[in-house]
Amino acid sequence: MDSTDSPSTSTTTLPPPAASSETSPLLSGSTLQNASSQEDHYVASITEEHEVTCWGCGLCLILSPYNPIFKCGWCGAINDHNAVKNDKKYLWWRRWRDRCFLCVLLLFMLFIIGGGIWAIYPIIFSESYFFGVFHMTIAVVLSITTFSTFALAAFRSPGTPPLIPWGSYPAVGKGGLEGYTFCNYCSKPKSPNSHHCRSCGMCVLDMDHHCPFIGNCVGAGNHRVFILFLMSSVISNFYVSLISSYAAFRIWPPVTNIPMAAFSGPNEYMLVFGSFKEVAFSFFTAVESLSVRGFVLIYLCVASVSVEIGLGVLLWQQLSYIYQGMTYLSLLSSRGTNRTSKKDCQNFVRFFGCPYSGTRCLLGFWNSRKIHKK
């Protein structure tokens, strides 16, 4: 229940008891004195049970016991007196888990780069020196971009809520804590667009999700570089899959004994089935004669395609959230409510902070065509 707009403390007046001196003139003085003391004790216990203090401005309020969650009418802070502070005994386990995932991802990236240099580029340079230098330049640029965006997303602060005065009526003005809640983990105010991450042990501003592979939360401070990291990773894995497939094709042993004439003639089904068996046998025979470089190329191709598909799905999901002007957590909190966000390409401009007016004009023209299209 909201409190009054006045900063003064509200009080509760209880009705007098049914049995008084006017209705019972035969009661003795000691009986009246005992009844009066019991009435005072009753009023004091009721007042003590229902008197609460707003954490935002410190004003004392007397409320009903049936609404422990209320919004202060002076500062606008949301009070929840049933909130219980949980312990942090599993915080160390979450941090060690994130560090293990971080080390695994770093080792995978180093293996992809080192294995590609060892297995791919001797074959590329054997084709042409200019061809090898060109692809080496592309690999260096993609590697630097991926590692730099990964480091920024993993080690940059995801964003902390702003620090504002709280706890005292003179320091908190009218509506100064509108919509704020109190974080029992951090023991400080939490803004409406913040969320506490139990893995990081801190409140994160505009939190999207906690990513264990970077060992950090994705929030207002590193959401942009996280998207750039996903884009760079998808492009890098696509390049690795292409160049490793080309290198494997160049060193693949020739496949012999393929009866191409078996695809025509009588009993065509049995002949085609036999030809496929011949091709499969020749293929596995060629695999047995592959060198170590060939197996590394096969692994690079399969691993890069698998990682590319997974990161591509995650990137598409993140871009769809940005298009809606929301984060993953805000989308979850808005389900089941009537709150809707504006889906617009201008959300990409606001997210990436593009300063070019020409881009904004083009996006505005595209959105106007999309809106007025019947």
Give me the active site residues, please.
211
C-alpha–C-alpha distance, residues 316 and 345, integer Å: 15
Helix segments in the chain, DSSP class H: 29-50, 91-119, 121-127, 129-155, 223-251, 268-288, 292-323, 328-334, 346-352, 357-372
Provide Rg for the chain, Cα atoms. 34
Cα torsion through 322, 327, 331, 337, rounded to 10: -90
C-alpha dihedral, 117 to 237 to 104 to 137, nearest 10°:
40
Tokens describing residue 194: 């913040």
CB half-sphere exposure, 212, CA atoms < 13 A: 12
d(CA 348, CA 337): 25
First to last CA, the chain: 47
User: Under a CB-based contact definition with an 8 Å cutoff, are residues 12 and 62 in contact?
Assistant: yes
Q: Name residues whose C-beta falls within 8 Å of residue 191's C-beta, 6 or more positions apart in sequence.
A: 161, 162, 179, 180, 205
